Every structure is written in structure tokens, then in C-alpha cells.
């Protein structure tokens, strides 16, 4: 079995005879994609995490048995080279100022260009995810340096004991106060959202703390994120008639480039110590 998507460059193959992953990939000739494999290209695919066997990412050679399925992403999506900056580091965690456009962690077809992998390469040590920022969202991102710290931080996030303050830019001002919406967890983006409770839907809360005029006709909003669901702030602002600057996915018409959303402050108590972090530069200042 062989399936090749010329539009995406994604290929699926069913293995017919015993072989190895590298041997199989090196022999590929894909005229539909104007592509012929070689050892250098195969090494690139493996290093970048473009190869899966039976749904599991493979970054090294391994035996292949008849019936196994190989999935190959020949056109991995690329991300900005901006390295970001470390705001804080101790023996338990690291706070990173993530630039807009950089994933938090490895994506389906790109293991290299993301905050987690780049920081691990810079530090020479493993990091552990505690929360995530959408790819276009910039700002403070917290990684644990040990599994014990990850467990402790995840517990704080689950109990809503980490205060998360965001800045959001929108063409319409949203009144200070709480916003409560319900998001369909099974919906594709843009997320399906309503103000009416529905069984099985995420109950999403945020609180607008302050707002004011910003440049070029936008308004800045300072908000506290009380729950942390995928696309929550973007969907809630759009549902309130104020899609964020640059957020064409949720109906923004401005075409202003980068998304007007940042994680500005994180504060919490861990191991009897109080921590508070503020982003050095804010989108509110520009």
C-alpha cells in the first residue's frame, strides 16, 4: 500500500518485506513529489521528526516488519529562527519569553523548531512541559527542569494557584469584569463557542481587569486567565465582538500581522517561596 498526497507531501506506506527504516526510506522514489531519497535527506527527515512508524515518531533507524505503516512528512512546516530569551532559571524551572510564531513543543512534522527543543539544546538538559501558549501567542512560558517540579507545577495549574495575566489588543473595547463562555472541545478551529451551558463543553472563565486606548485604533486589555483551554482567549474575545488584532482565524479584519496577545505575568507559590515574573517588553508598549 502506498498513498502520496501531492498537496501536502504526506506519504503513507505499508511495509511488505522485512527491512530497516533507513533502508526503506533511502530506496524511495517519489515522482509525484519530484523527490528521490538519499542518505542525507533521510538523515534530515529523521532528525527533524518527519517519520512515523505505526503512529510513533522515529528519529533513528529501526527494524521494520511486514504490515507496519510508515508515515513520512516530506514538507515540514518551518518556524521563525528567533531564539527568545530566558527570563528566570533555577534548579526547578525555567521561565522563557516565547516569541510569536514559535511552537511551545515539537509539532507533528517538526521536532526541532520549538521553544522546548531549542531550550534543551541550549541548556544541554531535558525540560518538561507545564503549560502551553498557542503558536502565534507570545510571552512567558514555564518549563520544569525535573519531573518532580513538573508534578508540583502541574498541580498548581490544575488548582488554579498560578495567576496568569495576559495583555490582549482588540479593535473594540471589552468592558471590565468576568467573561464566561462554553467551548466545544471536539470542534475544529475556530472553536465553537456559546454563552449557554452545554453538556460536555469546556466552561471557560477569564476576567477583564483593565482596558485603555492603544495605537492605531486598538484597545489594550489586561486580563486574568482563570481557565486555560486551547484558543480560549481568542475565542472569548471574538464571541464578545472583539476579535484580537491580527486574528483572522476568529474574524479580525485588520490584517495587522502578529496576534495581539501575550502572557504578561505569572505568579505563584512553590516550596514556600513566592515567585512573580513580568515580561520585560510588552505588546502594550508598542
Q: Residue 29 catalytic?
A: no
Instruction: Decide if 170 contacts 242 (C-beta within 8 A).
Output: yes
**C-alpha cell, 176:** 471590565
Backbone region of residue 60 per phi and psi (left: phi > 0; alpha: psi in -120 to 50; beta: other values) = beta
DSSP-assigned beta bridge partners for residue 204: 181
Q: Which of 101, 65, 68 is nearest to 83 (CA)?
A: 101
User: Which of the residues 65, 82, 97, 134 is marked catalytic?
Assistant: 134
Number of helices (H), then strands (E), belonging to the chain: the values are 5, 20
CA distances to 6, 9, 69 from 29, rounded to whole Å, are: 14, 13, 17
Sequence-distant contacts of 187-193: CB under 8 A, at least 24 apart: 189/231, 189/249, 190/231, 190/235, 190/238, 190/249, 190/250, 190/251, 191/230, 191/231, 191/235, 193/235, 193/236, 193/238, 193/239
Could you list the active site residues?
Answer: 134
Amino acid at each position: 500500500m502506498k498513498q502520496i498526497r501531492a498537496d501536502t507531501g504526506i506519504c503513507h506506506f505499508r511495509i511488505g518485506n522485512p527491512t530497516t527504516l533507513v533502508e526503506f526510506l533511502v530506496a524511495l522514489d517519489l515522482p509525484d513529489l519530484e523527490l528521490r531519497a538519499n542518505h542525507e535527506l533521510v538523515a534530515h527527515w529523521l532528525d527533524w521528526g518527519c517519520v512515523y512508524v505505526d503512529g510513533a515518531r522515529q528519529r533513528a533507524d529501526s527494524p521494520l516488519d511486514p504490515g507496519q505503516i510508515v508515515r513520512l512528512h516530506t514538507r515540514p512546516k518551518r518556524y521563525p529562527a528567533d531564539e527568545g530569551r530566558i527570563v528566570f532559571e533555577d534548579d526547578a524551572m525555567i521561565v522563557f519569553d516565547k516569541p510569536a510564531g514559535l511552537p511551545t513543543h515539537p509539532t507533528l512534522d517538526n521536532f526541532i523548531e520549538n521553544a522546548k527543543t531549542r531550550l534543551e539544546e541550549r541548556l544541554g538538559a531535558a525540560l518538561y512541559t507545564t503549560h502551553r501558549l498557542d503558536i502565534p501567542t507570545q510571552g512567558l512560558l514555564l518549563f520544569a527542569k525535573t519531573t518532580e517540579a513538573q508534578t508540583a507545577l502541574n498541580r498548581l495549574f490544575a488548582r488554579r494557584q498560578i495567576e496568569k495575566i495576559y495583555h490582549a489588543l482588540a479593535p473594540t473595547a471589552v468592558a471590565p469584569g468576568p467573561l464566561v463562555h462554553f467551548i466545544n472541545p471536539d470542534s475544529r478551529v475556530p472553536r465553537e463557542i456559546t454563552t449557554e451551558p452545554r453538556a460536555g463543553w469546556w466552561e471557560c472563565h477569564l476576567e477583564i481587569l483593565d482596558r485603555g486606548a492603544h495605537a492605531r485604533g486598538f484597545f489594550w486589555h489586561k486580563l486574568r486567565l482563570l481557565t486555560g483551554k486551547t484558543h480560549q482567549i481568542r475565542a472569548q474575545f471574538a464571541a464578545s465582538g472583539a476579535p484580537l488584532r491580527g486574528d483572522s482565524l476568529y474574524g479580525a479584519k485588520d490584517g495587522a500581522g502578529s496576534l495581539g496577545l501575550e502572557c504578561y505575568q505569572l505568579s505563584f507559590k512553590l516550596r514556600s517561596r513566592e515567585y512573580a515574573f513580568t515580561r520585560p517588553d510588552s505588546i502594550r508598549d508598542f
